[in-house]
Homo-oligomer: A and B are copies of this chain.
Amino acid sequence: MINEKNVQLGKKRSIIRELFEYGKKRKAEIGVENVFDFSIGNPSVPAPDAVREALNEIINTFDPVFLHGYTSAQGDYSVRETLANYTNKRFSTNLNADCFYLTCGAAASLSISLNALLNEGDEVIVFAPYFPEYKVFIENAGGKFVVVENTEMNLGIDVAKLEKVLSKKTKAVIINSPNNPSGVVYDRESIKKLCAALENHNKKYGNPVYIIADEPYRELVYDKSVEVPYIMNYYDRTLVCYSYSKSLSLPGERIGYIAVNNAMEEFEDVYAAVCGAGRALGFICAPNLFQQLIKKVYDKTSDISIYKDNRDKLYSALKEYGYEVVKPEGAFYLFVKALEPDAYAFLERAKKYELLVVPGDSFGAKGYVRISYCVSPETLEKSLPSFKALAESYK
């Protein structure tokens, strides 16, 4: 008689979690160095030294009553001001401190944004392949999860398909670029087409659609020629959900923010709704020590060249072994076509070679697997013969 939906959510392990448990067991059996675990997006590159240095300075020089005390619900003013100035300089926006709401991580940013925008029954569109928890967050906010399917190897934005699912009930579209699980970056032309389609929709129905830009992987692009368009520059009704989990290798510290574009007509209401949703959900005052940390290291990243090397090495090797691979421009994921139609069956065979990869089904992409290459270079190197043998077993 308690909340059955949440009982089930708590009991039902995600496939990633199941693989995590399997991997733990297998590593205990045959040694951690003999299991090639590509299932989890936990950065293997440590946080940059600047993080430890800043933490030491903050802990040993700040007044503890200030440092560990409450900030305002939306975050310390000076932290938010720093983020606004940095964003304006980098992306030519015109934001100010009161466009920002500091959050306890990316999940919090999404949960708050969705609760701020949605009324019961509103629809939220995501593009396959997508991060599986979007469905959980959207449904928890009372929304309906609507997918733009994508069965082709082209994993960009298909605007024609989007237009088929846009309806007068559409309240938001989630964009995740660089993308988890495919590593694809949506280019400027795609974003422009997407935004034009949404503007058309807004005129047609009169009830505007918001873009929620989920950007934990923004800093993880590996070629200078690749630009990750800043959605606010193309669409006024944009909320950016940012997290430092991947850029600074701080996934366990849960620090990020929501930036609401003040170019939108109804900005005041949307920002108020973000504050109200944060309050109602219990997400007020993100951890202050990490707020102060971000104020010092907002423009730093971990050494992402390690991920680039991993990507280059793994991508080339997999192509050579005969896999069909999406060339990833960002994030730390490779999306690979399974060598048989059922990705779960493919995983079972991969396990025989001690390879752990995630079937794409829960990402809305059957027949694919996700390979998280945020592992150590040694693990990656050592895993290549297994990938080769796995491919050969299908020949």
Which residues of chain A have a CB within 8 Å of any CB of chain B? 1-11, 40, 42-47, 51-52, 55-56, 59-60, 63-65, 67-71, 104-105, 107-112, 115-119, 133, 136-137, 139-140, 171, 207-208, 249-255, 266, 269-277, 279-290
State the Cβ distance, A342 to closest chain B Cβ, in Å. Answer: 27
Hey, which chain B residues are within 8 Å of A281, CB to CB?
Answer: 111, 140, 281-282
Assess whether B282 is in contact with A3, with CB atoms less than 8 Å apart.
no
Hey, which chain B residues are within 8 Å of A208, CB to CB?
Answer: 1
Assess whether B64 is in contact with A47, with CB atoms less than 8 Å apart.
yes
Assess whether B68 is in contact with A2, with CB atoms less than 8 Å apart.
no
Cα A59 to Cα B50 with chains together (Å): 12
With A10-B275, A280-B140 in contact, is A250–B104 under 8 Å at CB? no
Assess whether A252 is in contact with B64, with CB atoms less than 8 Å apart.
no
Please tell me which one of the listed residues B10, B56, B64, B249 contacts residue A276 in the complex, with CB atoms under 8 A apart.
Answer: B10
With A47-B64, A252-B68, A281-B140 in contact, is A276–B115 under 8 Å at CB? no
State the Cβ distance, A15 to closest chain B Cβ, in Å. Answer: 15
21 contacts between A and B (CB under 8 A): A2-B171, A5-B276, A6-B115, A6-B272, A6-B276, A7-B269, A9-B276, A40-B70, A44-B65, A46-B64, A47-B68, A51-B68, A55-B59, A67-B252, A68-B249, A70-B252, A137-B280, A140-B281, A282-B283, A283-B283, A289-B289
